[in-house]
Amino acid sequence: MSKKPLPPLFNYDQLPQKSHIGNGLAGQDILSVSQFNQDTLSYIFTRAREMRQMVRRIGGVDLLKGHVLACLFYEPSTRTSASFIAAMERLGGSVIPITQGVQFSSVSKGETLADTIRTLEQYADAIVLRHPKIGAAKTAADYASVPVLNAGDGAGEHPTQALLDLFTIREELGRLDGLKVAMVGDLRYGRTVHSLTKLLTQYNVSLRFVSPEILRLPLTIMNEVRDAGLDARETHDVADVIENADVLYVTRVQKERFSDLSQYEEVKEHYVITPELMTKAKEKMVVMHPLPRVGEIHYAVDGDPRAAYFRQVKNGMFIRMALLAAVLGQA
């Protein structure tokens, strides 16, 4: 019996190209990494470092006191929802957390995304949205009069995750140019991979994409990499990249993205990062993962100083603090 074809992917070229520096982000939507250039990234990273120092010293401030953030999550989330909530509260703001049980809200009565967004903007100064449909954040932004921040739209993009990923690489290794970055796992549906790859095209890096054949990086994104003139190669074997990688960015195979579960069963345990494999890696490198993991990184790797994924999680709060302050005009 023939397998079902994989669904098409959203083309982010449909989004407007924006470039903002500093307070130019005030009132803006955060929908795609294509909105950011190196100047904007440098600004956000500087603000994130300031947020980190502030949290270490005093825990929080009243920078966003009186502001309200609505977190609207149509898909499960632990890190993204928690870090946005923590970010807003550490800045003195308040949160409307619609992060569980959306199915029991007016959505169950057939309310459209547009009407949900137009309702929430009556209460909130900004809206964070996670949705299973690619392009949903853009749809929400079209109807909203307050900033919309894309917290992941299906297999599309996850811009705030990519910003914290890039920030983590910079903080861990001290630079971005000249690095060799290997992406491992679900590269077709992995929105974190899509967004981080797009950001990395702004730097002089080498990219290696490691995946099973059915989970290869979408051609549209590979074409962006090639258009940027970067050294990029694809392989099916982690052993081909482990010795030279400065960054090993591992992702889980996402069961929820498969319409044919037999395809998922074929590839779900294709890659596992073990202590034995890590003996072949550089002494100075980092292993990253957007989490959650479902077996692709062995727990014994957690004690390796090169395992950066929980430091990566913490960086998410600092980046989102910087972004919230910027879009709400307080950075």
103-147 confidence digits (pLDDT tens): 545 665 578 999 999 999 999 999 999 999 999 999 999 999 999
Query: Which residues 6+ apart lie within 8 Å of 38 measured at CB?
Result: 202, 203
pLDDT at 16: 35
Task: List residues bridging with 327 in a β-sheet.
Answer: none
Query: Which residues of the chain does CATH 3.40.50.1370 include?
Result: 19-157+314-327, 159-313
Label each residue of 119-161 as H, E or C.
HHCCCCCEEEEEECCCCHHHHHHHHCCCCEEEEEECCCCCHHH
Instruction: Give which of 158, 331, 182 is closest to 247, Cα–Cα.
Output: 182
The span from the CA of 232 to the CA of 240, in Å, is: 13
Q: Which residues are catalytic?
A: 79-80, 109, 130, 158
C-alpha dihedral over 216, 217, 218, 223, to 10 degrees? -130
Flag residues of the chain having pLDDT under 70.
1-23, 101-109, 254-269, 331
Rounded to two decimals, the pTM is: 0.88
Report the length, in residues, of the chain: 331
pLDDT at 103: 58
CATH 3.40.50.1370 for domain 19-157+314-327:
yes
Judged on CB neighbours under 10 Å (0-12, 13-18, 19+), 58 is: exposed
pLDDT at 14: 41
The span from the CA of 223 to the CA of 112, in Å, is: 35
Contact present, 253 and 236 (Cβ < 8 Å): no
Query: Which residues 6+ apart lie within 8 Å of 182 measured at CB?
Result: 207, 208, 209, 210, 238, 241, 242, 245, 247, 248, 249
Contact present, 296 and 272 (Cβ < 8 Å): yes
pLDDT at 111: 81
CATH 3.40.50.720 for domain 159-313:
no
What burial letters (b/e) apply to 18-31, b meaning 16+ CB within 10 Å? bebeeeebeebbbb
pLDDT at 18: 35
pLDDT at 289: 97
Task: List residues bridging with 148 in a β-sheet.
Answer: 127
Query: Which residues 6+ apart lie within 8 Å of 40 measured at CB?
Result: 19, 20, 21, 25
pLDDT at 180: 98
pLDDT at 304: 98
The span from the CA of 132 to the CA of 152, in Å, is: 8
